[in-house]
A = this chain, B = another copy of it.
């Protein structure tokens, strides 16, 4: 919208050609120290910055990644996104990439922006955050020459790249921790309609079954991934099954909701009943009692997701399936089953 200083201006000012200036600013060593100095001087003097679109046009890259989140109201307000997007941001920045923010809303899907942004070259890759089983449009990206990657989830049966926490392992770790403490009457607060969450639920049942517990006898409630949902699920579970000595939640928010319910009811945690979550969000350690959980390193997941998106951009023919390991974090909310 205004006249900026271009490579031409610098070239003219220094009495050299465009390519010389180009080579200098790109650090090509085949330019003599003398002219390099002269050019750099002019560059500094005018504070010249090469136009990104012109560069991108030639290099066929936008040096931009898109992060697609669900509705913003949900994204902001969810502490879980912080480290995840932080990791993406960090990796992108280190590689000279910028982040675009996209919203997976009706308009986004109708306009097919998930494919347009890639096609028009506005972004080199897209990272889909917090997707669920209803996001079937993602399947349209399968087989395209574009760098699309699902973060912390995946499309079952589709060769679409993803980087996610190892939820099967989380279920195993959480289940075995609770079993190891002697619990047999266990309730599950899980999420649904998300592949990783369903994998967690299912694997958990398998782990309990391996320990001789009839899966059909394990009560399950959908906590909708939220704290109020967890609160409500805990209420429902404990009212129907007063004998429960442990609650396993699919994420920390639901676990914290359960904790709040139990506190309200005056139930002693972990003396009477144990609670374990998944994620290790920042508030888990500050919960009362401090929440035992299975840590998911979302910063790392984000970082790795960005890294792989760029790898995908280089070679879109591959399908990346990265599972990031998890780790038990023992705090106060779990203890031996009461006698």
Query: Closest chain B residue to A62 by CB distance?
Result: B53
Residues A53 and B49 in contact, CB atoms below 8 Å apart: no
A92, chain B: closest CB distance, angstroms: 10
Interface string of A80-103 (1 = CB under 8 A from B): 111101100100010000111111
> With A51-B121, A107-B93, A313-B1 given, is the CB distance from A73 to B86 under 8 Å?
yes
Residues B76 and A120 in contact, CB atoms below 8 Å apart: no
Residue in A51, A53, A98 whose Cβ sees the most chain B Cβ within 10 Å: A53
> With A1-B61, A1-B316, A124-B1 given, is the CB distance from A75 to B67 under 8 Å?
no
Instruction: Decide if A314 is an interface residue (CB 8 Å cutoff).
Output: yes
A72–B93 alpha-carbon span in the complex (Å) = 14
Count of A interface residues, CB-CB < 8 Å: 53
In the complex, chain B residues whose CB is within 8 Å of the CB of A52: 62, 120-122
Instruction: Decide if A23 is an interface residue (CB 8 Å cutoff).
Output: no
Query: Closest chain B residue to A312 by CB distance?
Result: B1
In the complex, chain B residues whose CB is within 8 Å of the CB of A82: 72-77
Residues B72 and A2 in contact, CB atoms below 8 Å apart: no
> With A1-B60, A116-B49 given, is the CB distance from A77 to B79 under 8 Å?
yes
Query: Closest chain B residue to A57 by CB distance?
Result: B53
From B57, B77, B107, contact of A77 by CB (8 A) = B77
Chain A residues at the B interface, C-beta cutoff of 8 Å = 1-2, 4, 47, 49-54, 56-57, 60-62, 64, 67, 71-83, 85-86, 89, 93, 98-103, 107, 116-117, 119-122, 124, 145, 282, 313-314, 316
11 additional A-B residue pairs with CB within 8 Å, beyond A1-B316, A72-B81: A1-B60, A53-B54, A53-B122, A64-B100, A67-B101, A73-B79, A73-B83, A74-B82, A89-B103, A93-B107, A98-B100
Could you show 12 A-B contacts with beta carbons less than 8 Å apart?
A1-B313, A52-B121, A53-B57, A67-B101, A73-B79, A73-B82, A73-B86, A73-B282, A76-B77, A76-B79, A76-B80, A98-B117
- Ordered nearest first, which 5 A-B pairs have the shortest CB separation? A76-B81, A77-B79, A76-B82, A73-B82, A52-B120
